[in-house]
Structure 1
Amino acid sequence: MGKWFLSSNLLRQFLSIFYLISLATAQLNLRPKQHVNAAGLGYRFGQSSDNAEDSDHFKLLAADGESLLVGARNAVYNLSLATLNVQHKIDWKPPADQIEECIMKGKTKADCQNYIRVLAVKNSGQVLVCGTHAFSPKCREYTYSNADAKLENTRQFEGQGISPYDPRDNSTALYIPDSGEIYAATVSDFVGNDPLIYRRKLNEGERTGLRTQRDDARVLDAPNFVATFVSKEHVYFWYRERASEAVDNNEERQVYARVARVCSNDRGGPRPASERWTSFLKARLNCSLASPTPFYFNELKAVSDPIPSTNGDHIVYALFSTPDSPVQMSAVCTFSMKRIREEFDHGTFKRQRNTDSLWEAFPRSEMPKPRPGTCVPDSVRLPEATISFVLANPLMHKCINSVNGPLLIEGVDRAQLTQIAVLPQIQSVNGQKFDVIYLGTVDGNVLKVVNTGDNVTVVQTTRIFAHPQPVVNLLTKSQQLVVVSSNEIAAIGVQQCEQQTSCSRCVQLQDPHCAWDVNSGRSDFFHIRFSKGCIR
């Protein structure tokens, strides 16, 4: 009874917050203008299944020209983007003794397979493939053989710090062809207690690299990594983690969303910091509803690539949620890359003098020079004071606020949002341009949302899979949307214009991909779109 009483109180608290939010914002639970059942439609690969033990754990690793490169259980698939037909396949299963050893350590037979999580195409034409390999990560390099017209395994090496151990772990990896380096954010031990952000050259015989320091909650504390990309001279990492600076009433750390960066030319510090980043900085991401008591969406789930904006800036669309509970909510916020750079370049740092003191801004007068986290020509020559500071105080004092608060909020009676992808600046019939946002859900649907700049419109919700299952990846192309679950991949059109049967309903849909053709008497897909009236 006591447990139910606490649960009821929690429910009433969230419903009260939900009611306040509904009064304060027009972005809550927007109704889709159109419902589409696309289960079984379009092109398909794999098979929808409810059996978690039999999962392929598909992961979209790259879109290379007209191909999709997909990591799966004991295999990599090269799929045609147009049809999802298999063009090539690399098979890589762990040896029997490795699987047996994994099972003896307490893992299931299903987990003790090789789930491919990292793939990169090198300048030399070689392909790097890394997988969980029965909880003992390994990497291989494959070279194309003209004689056999196939990829041949030419080198295998340890994948610790590059691939996760567990296929369910949230991790990211990014290969930079020009430098021949891979950046990875994952864990480097069997039990997952050593998270790291790691860079390594992929030259044969190269074993050293740069990483975040071990066993330091100020740097990384139980992170879930979401995305990685390059912007100018920095590599950015987006994730959520337990926050050292935030403790709730039960003395437990809250989870905060983070953005972190390192300099791409970081060479590490002088010994003994030769294998540590000298430029790692991080900041909190703030997606919240402004009020005397702000309502926060703290858990970052997915981000888009940087989208160019009209003012010369780049915008990142990010997907957030409240903590796991029966009354979970989701939100979409946008962040300015210019604002993020300004905070890292000029903001103050956060510090805690001792475990009993409050967190505070580090006085600028006490900061060493050169400024910690700055990209310098040779980081090995940095003074000890700068190295010590950045290793101990990587957190910025101020958070990065979203641009104008949440664009969209999905409330407690809606499916949790899981993934995001954006088609930027779709031009309308009248010359205006709009970002079109696709949002995957935990039950296998995709929302199509149009950002007009002043407001957002939920154009449609589309059911993708026959069996409800979370959307784990989304990819947008000009005319195609690729939706990935753990067991099935679907490719459908970015629009469903033909659902509308009259000019007025076509216009009311407010889909920038659709307009009414007077000559044919139907709604159609145009390259120049967004009808405010019926067009010829």
Structure 2
Amino acid sequence: MSSQDILLAGCAAQAQQKESTLRRYSLAFPWAGIQESLPTDWVCRGPPRLCPHARFTLSLFGRLPAELGQALRDPRGCQTHCKAAPCPHHVPGSSFWQTPFPLVPVEASRPRPVKESRGCIDGVSVLQIFWPASREQVEHCQLAGKNVETECANFIRLLQPFNGTHVFACGTGSYQPVCAFIQLGGPGAPPMRLVTHSLESGRGRCPYSPHEPFTGLLVDGELYSGTSSDFMGSSAAFFRTWVHGAEQSYIRTEQNQDHWLHEPAFIGAYAIPDTYNPHDDKVYIFFRETAMEAGQWERRHIHARVARVCKNDVGGKRSLINRWSTFLKARLVCSIPGPQGTETHFDQLEDVFLLRTRDPQNPLVFGLFTVSSGVFSGSAVCVYSMAAVRAAFSGPFAHKEGFDYRWVEYKGRVPYPRPGMCPSETYDPLLQSTKDFPDEVISFMRTHQLMWEPVYPQGRQPILVRVNVPYRLQRLLVHRLEMESRHYDVLFLGTDEGKVLKVGLAGGVTHGTEVISLEEISVTKVQEASQQELFVSSTHGLLQLSLYRCELYGKTCTDCCLARDPYCTWDGKNCAPHLLTEKRRAHCQDMLKSDPLSQCQDTAEGTTAVEKLVFGVEKNSTFLECLARSPQTTVRWLVRHGEETGLSEVRNNGHFSVLEQGLLIRQLAREDMGTYECQAVERSFSRPLTRYSLRVIRHEAMEVPPYKRSKGAELGGTHQSPRPRIDLHPGYKGFPRALGAPGTSLDIYCNALRHQERQRQKAWHQKWQHPSPDSKNGRVRRHPQPL
């Protein structure tokens, strides 16, 4: 095999390795925070594959009943396989599917349905629920100019648990929204089925379009949903409807009033109690909208908002009938303070996660924000306390006197009871309903929804910032680990590249948070800390993974401690999950105090690395690979050029380039010969990872000897011209040069090499199919014809 064939095989192996890496770290998920959109009337076309570069959803799970778990494996009703297969056809103008499949947490007391089997869901029976759109609905959708494959179908957008036996579901119905109940099966109960007699209109509950941002929350038989209310999607509102019973009334935000909602994109809704009295409970809505605070001739901005309504709001008596009479909203600020009071704002709210604490009235609100401009782009995570949110709603109102006026703080008299307050015995026993509010209060609420003071995060700055990176953060999950003396919050951040960053917060969000990047995985989060399991919801199924991969951190206590993963600890023999380890044997549980010098007895192990002999060609590039096991580790290179000289540190300059993957020597010289050692350094601890003995081959040794160059001319005869001088190893010499050439990547070099090989083979076949006349006349016959 020639050197060029070897290089071609290497390029193919490199492409396969890259594809396997993408499969491992770039699982395909649907869009999160906005419920799923998958056509239920599609036909299964073979086993699907989790495709790279797709958008995904991160969802929290407890235990699922077996039948519901099977239904979630494929929202189209098709059985899911954990095998590789081509990705579905790409939809032009989108990144796979733009909306997510809603994952439904059900009572944890129900039997657990699935077991982990190499990343697949096993142990569930095959059950399918078909809920297609009717032929008439599809035809009307086509006549309206919609796409028959990506829009004219019943895309499931909402799944919410109603009770222990039923789930409430809504779909787009081919641009005619429809809702129904799904009966859950179980031991000794009828199988899971769609309750067809419960079909009813989904208008005000589910969007018409499968691509529209949407949120839904079912609480106490009432559905709170942020969605559009018309076919064109131009009128968005926040609704409350009853999903069961004879009463079919509704409450919504006011129509055609931009100071209520102006082009909103709903992110999430959560029910949070305010006091001990359930009549004070409220629903908080998170969304982004085009701000109305700017002047008439100023450029409009997108602002992140938090709004709230009372759960017992029934509208006004003579005004605001069937409209919210307690709807208030405030701005969410996530910014980086700058000099002289300037701030860099992240206003594009992408996702919100509510971290429940021991106090149900005071959960933590984690918000994920992005910004994109001509100057820079980036993402940030801010944490808000409910105390700060309630303080904003208890502050002054924003006021605008007329069309040409600016928004200012309202200085007038605020009517009693205070607008936005819930009717309950906590404030006034005489107020039993919002219909008992005075007309003055209702009139004030028609024009004063916006609060003057914004909501600032804890510490007045983000806890995590990523700017000028090749990805954008789009989804957020938070998992709290409770230790004996403290707790740790682990963030799972989904990127637009289909990856998830696992980041640990040490020190807490209120005390000098230290951000620790742990690893890149593709996961969702877990509801019960005792389960420690991850569920990945994709457009093709539900995947069960592990929340931790402690075995990847190495086989020594030192490696386990330096990883600083709060899920893992050293049990005396292995790096194992801390929940499965006895407390008296656990080491390195504290992310802030993970010091192997004081907590490990094997620090002397691995102090010497196996030396590898490598060769490099003079005047070419050479790469020495070294990968750290933990993102917290800093790699340091040392070199010794002779036996009598000591180790000296290699610095980044024009000759040496210290990369994350190793050390690159651009133009190898004879003086570079020596021993190179790669060390992992964190804090005051260091240990060698690998060692190379580099030998340099002289440039002249790679040329063709003179006697081989003349030998070809003698064998060819006098009718052949001497052959030009060629290199014995053109591919081998070109490969190091490609690494050293500025602006040239390995992919470009491999593509060029493949193209050169195809041209060579093409020329070879043409030569034998159409021989030239000169070659026929000039050949030597072994058996000359007789005279």
Scaled to the shorter chain, the TM-score interval is 0.7 to 0.9
1:530 and 1:400 map into 2 onto residues whose CA distance is: 32
1:47 and 1:62 map into 2 onto residues whose CA distance is: 22
Greater Rg by CA: 2
1:416 and 1:61 map into 2 onto residues whose CA distance is: 19
Out of 188, 195, 200, the residue aligned to residue 229 of structure 2 is: 188
SS of alignment partner, residue 99 of structure 1: helix
Out of 159, 166, 176, the residue aligned to residue 119 of structure 1 is: 159
Instruction: List, as ranges, runs of 4+ consecutive aligned residues in structure 1 with deviation greater than 6 Å.
Output: 41-45, 57-62, 76-79, 309-312
Query: What is the Cα deviation at residue 202 of structure 1?
Result: 1.6
**Which has the larger share of helix?**
2
Query: What is the Cα deviation at residue 123 of structure 1?
Result: 3.4
Q: Which residue of 2 is the match for residue 526 of structure 1?
A: 578
Contact 2:262 2:289 survives alignment (8 Å): yes
Change (3 A) 1:284 1:100: same
SS of alignment partner, residue 562 of structure 2: helix
Q: Give matches, 1:282-361, under 5 Å.
A: 282-291=329-338, 292-308=341-357, 313-323=362-372, 327-344=376-393, 346-361=394-409
- 1:415 maps to a residue whose letter is Y
SS of alignment partner, residue 91 of structure 1: coil
Q: Which residue of 2 is the match for residue 512 of structure 1?
A: 566
1:477 and 1:147 map into 2 onto residues whose CA distance is: 27
**335-344 or 139-148, larger mean C-alpha shift:** 139-148
Q: Give matches, 1:376-387, under 5 Å.
A: 376=423, 377-387=432-442
Query: What is the Cα deviation at residue 140 of structure 1?
Result: 1.1
Query: What is the Cα deviation at residue 61 of structure 1?
Result: 8.0
Change (3 A) 1:526 1:64: closer
1:43 and 1:401 map into 2 onto residues whose CA distance is: 35
2:182 and 2:548 map into 1 onto residues whose CA distance is: 38
Query: What is the Cα deviation at residue 47 of structure 1?
Result: 2.7
Change (3 A) 1:247 1:308: farther
Q: Give CA-to-partner distance per residue, 1:454-513, whole Å, 9 cap, x none.
A: 22333333243xxxxxx9x75555312223344554332111211112332322221111
- 2:403 maps to a residue whose letter is T
Please tell me whether residue 389 in structure 1 is matched to residue 431 in structure 2: no
Out of 211, 220, 224, the residue aligned to residue 168 of structure 1 is: 211
Out of 245, 248, 258, the residue aligned to residue 293 of structure 2 is: 245
Identity %: 28
Q: Give matches, 1:64-463, under 5 Å.
A: 65-67=63-65, 70=72, 74-75=76-77, 80=113, 82-83=115-116, 84-85=121-122, 88-110=127-149, 111-123=151-163, 125-143=165-183, 148-153=190-195, 154-177=197-220, 180-232=221-273, 233-246=281-294, 251-291=298-338, 292-308=341-357, 313-323=362-372, 327-344=376-393, 346-363=394-411, 365-376=412-423, 377-404=432-459, 405-427=461-483, 431-452=485-506, 453=508, 454-463=512-521
Change (3 A) 1:282 1:81: farther
Change (3 A) 1:81 1:436: farther
1:281 and 1:293 map into 2 onto residues whose CA distance is: 28
SS of alignment partner, residue 210 of structure 2: coil
Identify the structure with bigger relative contact order (alpha carbons < 8 Å, sequence gap 6+): 1
Change (3 A) 1:440 1:483: farther
Please tell me whether residue 492 in structure 1 is matched to residue 490 in structure 2: no
Q: Give CA-to-partner distance per residue, 1:153-197, whole Å, 9 cap, x none.
A: 2311100111111222111111113xx111111111111111111
Q: TM-score, normalised by structure 1?
A: 0.81
Change (3 A) 1:182 1:509: same
Q: Give CA-to-partner distance per residue, 1:242-278, whole Å, 9 cap, x none.
A: 1111359x73321000000000111111134220011
Contact 1:71 1:118 survives alignment (8 Å): no
Q: Give CA-to-partner distance per residue, 1:39-76, whole Å, 9 cap, x none.
A: 35999995324799xxxx98788746335574976559
Show structure 1 runs of 5+ residues with no match: 1-35, 465-470
Q: Give CA-to-partner distance per residue, 1:340-399, whole Å, 9 cap, x none.
A: 11221x211101111221211111x42211111100131011112211211211010000
SS of alignment partner, residue 453 of structure 2: coil
- 2:211 maps to a residue whose letter is R
Contact 1:334 1:406 survives alignment (8 Å): yes
Query: What is the Cα deviation at residue 299 of structure 1?
Result: 0.9
Query: What is the Cα deviation at residue 297 of structure 1?
Result: 0.4
Q: Could you say what the CA RMSD is over the residues aligned between the two structures, in angstroms?
A: 3.2
- 1:66 maps to a residue whose letter is L
Contact 2:504 2:518 survives alignment (8 Å): no
- 2:405 maps to a residue whose letter is S
Query: What is the Cα deviation at residue 199 of structure 1?
Result: 0.6
Q: TM-score, normalised by structure 2?
A: 0.57
Query: What is the Cα deviation at residue 442 of structure 1?
Result: 0.8
1:315 and 1:62 map into 2 onto residues whose CA distance is: 16
**Which has the larger share of strand?**
1
**387-396 or 86-95, larger mean C-alpha shift:** 86-95
SS of alignment partner, residue 450 of structure 2: coil
2:360 and 2:285 map into 1 onto residues whose CA distance is: 24
Contact 2:75 2:541 survives alignment (8 Å): no
- 2:576 maps to a residue whose letter is D
SS of alignment partner, residue 397 of structure 1: coil
**43-52 or 279-288, larger mean C-alpha shift:** 43-52
Query: What is the Cα deviation at residue 125 of structure 1?
Result: 2.9
Show structure 2 runs of 5+ residues with no match: 1-19, 29-46, 78-100, 105-111, 274-280, 424-431, 584-588, 602-787
Q: Give matches, 1:54-65, under 5 Å.
A: 63=61, 65=63
Contact 1:142 1:155 survives alignment (8 Å): no
2:285 and 2:361 map into 1 onto residues whose CA distance is: 22
SS of alignment partner, residue 141 of structure 2: helix
2:368 and 2:361 map into 1 onto residues whose CA distance is: 23
Number of equivalences: 481
